[in-house]
Structure formats: C-alpha cells, structure tokens
C-alpha cells in the first residue's frame, strides 16, 4: 500500500517495492487495489523462501499450493512472473527496471535462517528516514 501511494504521488519515478512471501500473503487484497489503480511505474518484487522468517521459519502457503504470481494475475496485474532460475532472473531484471507496470515478480529463494533484527518502531524516525531517502536531507525539518 505504501508503494502504491508513492507510485501514484510520484508518477515520473520508478517505484520498486521489495517484500517477502509472508507479508504478501498477509496483504493479498493490496494486489487487487494496485491492479485497479494500475500505476505503470510500480514493480513489486516478492522474495519467496516459503517461510515466515520473523516467527520461526514456519512454512507459508507458498510452500504448498499457493502461487503468488497467479494470484497477482488473477487480481488483474498485467505483468507477473515467477523466477526460479538465473536465466529467468536475467530476463526479469530489465523488465523490473524499465518495463511498464504494474508488475509482480516472485523470486524463489532458498529458505535459510538469517540473523534476526526487527526494524525500529519509532514512527517519527521512520517517517523522516523515508522522506529523506525519497526527497533528500533538506526535506527534514530540524527543530
């Protein structure tokens, strides 16, 4: 949803959203909303390790029968793909960076337990960090 808002607010900029399969499964309705709004500058990349990494590596629905690219296509997304091999990634990267969207690329990755670090929870800090990354240091009003 934040990526959609950003893509609509900044139509001249390419917006690349990177997320995981667990988060995408929890927000499937957002795919229908993105498809309905159809921002051509929005690309959603889902790294799918078939696990809920933040809660103990339990298998997600994509480890069984759920197909996120098919769900995206069924939601009305015009460009979707599942990437399993390096050659498929080589083909997908130019589409991600330059193609017309909205699009969803599901990249299958190996499930491995990585160091666990939760992001900060300070809303003002997160807002300022996002704004600074998007608009530059001068966008932050210092008290």
Question: What does the pLDDT look like over 19-52, one tens digit per residue?
Answer: 999 999 999 999 999 999 999 999 999 999 999 8
What is the per-residue pLDDT across 112-139, written as a single tens digit (0 to 9) for each? Answer: 877 777 778 888 888 888 888 888 887 7
In the prediction, which pLDDT does 143 show? 61
Q: Among residues 66, 25, 17, 74, which one has the least CA distance to residue 41?
A: 17
Please say whether the beta carbons of 60 and 33 come within 8 A. Answer: no
pLDDT digits (tens, 9 = 90+) for 51-78: 987 777 888 999 999 999 999 999 999 9
Specify which residues 20 forms β-bridges with: 47
**Is beta strand 15-20 parallel, antiparallel or unpaired with respect to 51-52?**
unpaired
| Mean per-residue pLDDT over the chain, rounded | 91
- pTM, two decimal places: 0.85
Rg (CA), the chain: 16
């Amino acid at each position: 949803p934040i990526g959609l808002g950003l893509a609509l607010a900044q139509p001249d900029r390419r917006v690349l959203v990177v997320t995981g399969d667990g988060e995408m499964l929890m927000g499937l309705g957002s795919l229908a909303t993105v498809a309905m709004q159809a921002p051509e500058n929005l690309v959603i990349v889902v790294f799918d390790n078939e696990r809920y990494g933040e809660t103990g590596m339990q298998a997600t629905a994509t480890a069984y029968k759920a197909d996120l690219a098919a769900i995206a296509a069924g939601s009305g997304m015009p460009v979707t793909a599942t990437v399993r091999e390096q050659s498929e990634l080589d083909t997908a990267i130019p589409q991600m960076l330059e193609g017309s969207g909205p699009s969803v690329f599901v990249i299958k990755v190996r499930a491995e337990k990585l160091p666990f670090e939760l992001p900060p929870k300070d809303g003002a800090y997160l807002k300022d960090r996002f704004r600074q990354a998007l608009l530059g240091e001068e966008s932050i009003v210092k008290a």
